[in-house]
Amino acid sequence: MSQNIESHLVENRVIKPTREFSKHARIGSMADYRRIHAASVRNPAKFWAGEASELVWGRKWKSVLKWKAPFARWFDGGTVNVAENCVDRHARGDRRNKAAIIWEGEPGEKRTLTYGQLQREVCLFANVLKRNKVKKGDRVIIYMPLIPEAAVAMLACARIGAVHSVIFGGFSADSIRDRIADSGATCVITADGGYRRGSIVPLKHNVDAALTGDTTVKRVIVFRRANNEIHIEEGRDVWWHRELDYVTADCPVVHHDSEHPLFILYTSGSTGKPKGILHTTGGYLAQAYATTKYIFDLRENDIYWCTADVGWITGHTYLVYGPLANGATCMMYEGAPNWPDPDRFWRIIQNYGVTVFYTAPTAIRAFIKWGDEWVDKHDLSSLRLLGTVGEPINPEAWMWYHRKIGGGRCPIVDTWWQTETGAIMISPLPGATPVKPGTATLPFFGIDAAIVDDNGKEVGPNVGGKLVIRKPWPSMLRTIYGDRARYKKTYWSEFPGYYLTGDGARRDKDGYFWIVGRIDDVLNVAGHRLGTSEIESALVSHHSVAEAAVVGRPDEIKGQGVVAFVTLREGEKPTAELREKLRRHVGAAIGAIAKPDDIHFAEALPKTRSGKIMRRLLKEIAGGGDVKGDTTTLEDFSILSKLKLRDA
């Protein structure tokens, strides 16, 4: 049996940066990239010290890195305050009256906070936290809609040294209860409700349900957003706006140790059991700052929009901390992309003159499914750079994004990274890297990424294997909160000294990284190890298909059979003839071994609220069993029952 993951999908299209874009870019040529990257991997400490020195420090570090695998201390001995770097240093200077956050609510309200105003709001709320006995090191749960106050709450925690744990506003009471119990949180910051597809999400009601029985939570601070009726528990619950009456905006900066915990972010992982990923202060901020600056090639007049919610790592790093550390103007939108119509995003881009747009492949595939007519209504000429994040993007979806949204002129940065890595690890640089649809291309500065076989030996070009990172990086997770043994076992035990990403990948002859899917999702078909993302890409390249997810099911002869769940574009009809056409299409693109044994047509696929397809649940359905795994992160529960009925 072949031990390495096989990769068969061939992509020959190459799109080079325009001469005009390269001329003004921070990194304008591949020669520059190669020179800086080689030096940064040879001496990572020197590179990261240079980036960190652009930030404001209370006390400079004594050593850039102390590494005793698998535990790192970055900028050891230094002290720093994240809120000072994201807010105060801009508010003290020329950016005081520059827009920091431009916000639009789903019902249509509009607000802008300048850096001066944001500083005042952060200081006021930091004093509210202190008034409510939140102190340095305390864990604080933030469970809010995507409103400016969510960012204010994060920055206020960072200012006083409290450790925040943001929970996405769509999660259930059970999810909140589990995270409070694991973190030992003493305070919850929430809102009465938030808006999603025209309905009010009852946030405070969910918090109340989570706090029944024994709990470590002593205080709940409630922001008034939706004016829905809620219960206020005397002695525990206070209103945000009333608390502001008791405090001033005088909250001097206190510098925290570079390794002081900044936040815990829970990720479900493949087993469904949440893991509390712990990130610290100085190293995380340095890499968030540097990656945002170079990869999004930020300019002073950019209107930058990362569509992620703050409940996900993308929202932490590329909606709040990275762009604000760079003094950028950040667009923030509360609601769904198809409310009240499927052109909400395009209307926002046109109305605000958005220049940099960063979204997920699953959203891009949804836009394709909804139809080009929604895009054609709007002028998207303000855009100069596009990005994608969350999972590998299918080459055909990439091409649609390039042509239809970017007008064929905008570079696309297809970024690979994880909750655990804290910041982008592999990505094109928009003024330098010739891109190929579907690949994250090359490692960022200071990142030593490799693909290895099961023995930890690096493999050659176009040989599939396991993606590892061979050297520590500043924004890396420091541990799983409260479980150092699990941290070591999960990420560092298979190849000692190397971080195991959990992704299968290959490198092509140009050294570009192609992610072929989670190692857990690799299929063993008649002795061949096939990555699911390549089969999905082949399916999506057919003109009838909007989205596809591929999983395995037990097969007595082949070991595993290939099962595809497919959603069709508007106007396409599911037929036996189309099913056979799709099988042949995959065979032509990859080879007969990859032809799906079963193709199930679905109205929609089960996804997390961050837009990732929950293949774990599809695997259970494909195997004919009941869905037993954790479903608390599922956005639409009705999708599961429809899939099971259809396959009954």
Query: pLDDT tens-digit profile of 379-420?
Result: 999 999 999 998 888 889 999 999 999 999 999 999 999 999
List the structure tokens of 406: 């970017």
Give the Cα separation of 47 and 54 in Å (integer): 12
| pLDDT score recorded for residue 211 | 98
Q: Tell me the C-alpha distance between 270 and 553, whole Å.
A: 17
- Residue 68: Cβ-neighbour burial (10 angstroms; 0-12, 13-18, 19+): exposed
- Quick one: how far is CA 592 from the chain centroid? 34
Residue whose structure tokens are 């189309």: 578
In this structure, are residues 541 and 9 in contact, taking their beta carbons and an 8 Å threshold? no
CA 518, 524, 529, 530 dihedral sign is negative
- The per-residue pLDDT for 369 is 87
The whole-angstrom separation of Cα 411 and Cα 304 is 15
In tens, the pLDDT along 34-89 reads 999 999 999 999 999 999 999 999 999 999 999 999 999 999 999 999 999 999 99
Residues present in the chain in total: 648
CA angle 144, 146, 152 (to 5 degrees): 75
In a 3-state reduction of DSSP, which class is residue 242?
Answer: helix
Please answer whether residues 448 and 472 qualify as being in contact, where contact means their C-beta atoms are separated by less than 8 angstroms.
Answer: no
Tracing tokens 């994040």 back to the chain, one arrives at 389
Tell me what pLDDT residue 213 has. 92
Higher-scoring residue by pLDDT: 150, 630: 150
Helix (H) or strand (E) holding 80: strand 79-80
Q: What is the pTM of this model?
A: 0.88
Q: Is the pLDDT of residue 339 over 90?
A: yes
Residue 417, φ and ψ in degrees, nearest 5: -170, -175
Backbone angles phi, psi at 74, to 5 degrees: -100, 140
555 in Cβ contact with 622 (< 8 Å): no
In 3D space, the residue among 123, 124, 101, 132 whose CA is nearest the CA of residue 114 turns out to be 101
DSSP string, 15-34: BPPPHHHHHHSSS--HHHHH
99: β partners: 114
Q: Do 590 and 534 contact (CB within 8 A), yes or no?
A: yes
pLDDT at 1: 33
133's torsion region: left (phi>0), alpha (psi -120 to 50) or beta? left
What percent of the chain has pLDDT above 90?
A: 78
pLDDT band of residue 552 (cuts 50, 70, 90) is confident
Distance CA 355, CA 361 (A): 19
Which range is least confidently modeled, 22-26, 268-272, 321-325, 553-557?
268-272
- Three-state DSSP at 170 gives coil
Kindly list the structural domains of the chain, giving each domain's residue range(s) and its CATH number in brackets, ordered by start.
19-505 (3.40.50.12780), 522-647 (3.30.300.30)
At position 122, the amino acid (one-letter code) is V
DSSP one-letter code for 245? G
Q: Which residues of 226-256 are buried (b: 16+ CB within 10 A; e: fewer)?
A: bebebeeeeeebbebeebbeebeeebebebb
Task: Using the structure block, give the residue that is written with the tokens 């002290």.
Answer: 79
- For residues 469 and 449, the answer to whether their CB atoms sit within 8 Å is yes
pLDDT of residue 492: 97
The residues, any chain, with a CB within 8 Å of residue 19's CB and separated by 6 or more, are: none
Contact assessment for residue 524 and residue 559, using Cβ atoms and an 8 Å cutoff: yes
Which amino acid belongs to residue 87? V
205 closest CA partner among 233, 247, 246, 178: 233
Banded pLDDT at 2 (limits 50, 70, 90): very low
**Omega of the bond prior to 340 within 30 degrees of 0, cis?**
yes
CB under 8 Å to 27, separation ≥6 — which residues?
Answer: 33, 36, 294, 429, 431, 432
Instruction: Retrieve residue 538's tokens.
Output: 């082949």
pLDDT tens figures, 578-613: 999 999 998 887 777 889 999 999 888 887 666 677
- Contact by Cβ (8 Å): 325, 57: no
Write the DSSP symbol of residue 634. Answer: B
Confidence of residue 648 (pLDDT cuts 50, 70, 90): very low
Taking the C-alpha atoms of residue 177 and residue 239, their distance in angstroms, rounded to an integer, is 21
Integer CA distances (angstroms), 520 to 186, 302, 552, in order = 36, 39, 11
Q: What is the mean pLDDT of residues 560-577?
A: 90
Average pLDDT score over residue span 247-261: 98
Mean pLDDT across 463-473: 96
Q: For 73, what's the count of Cα atoms within 13 Å in the CB-facing half-sphere?
A: 13
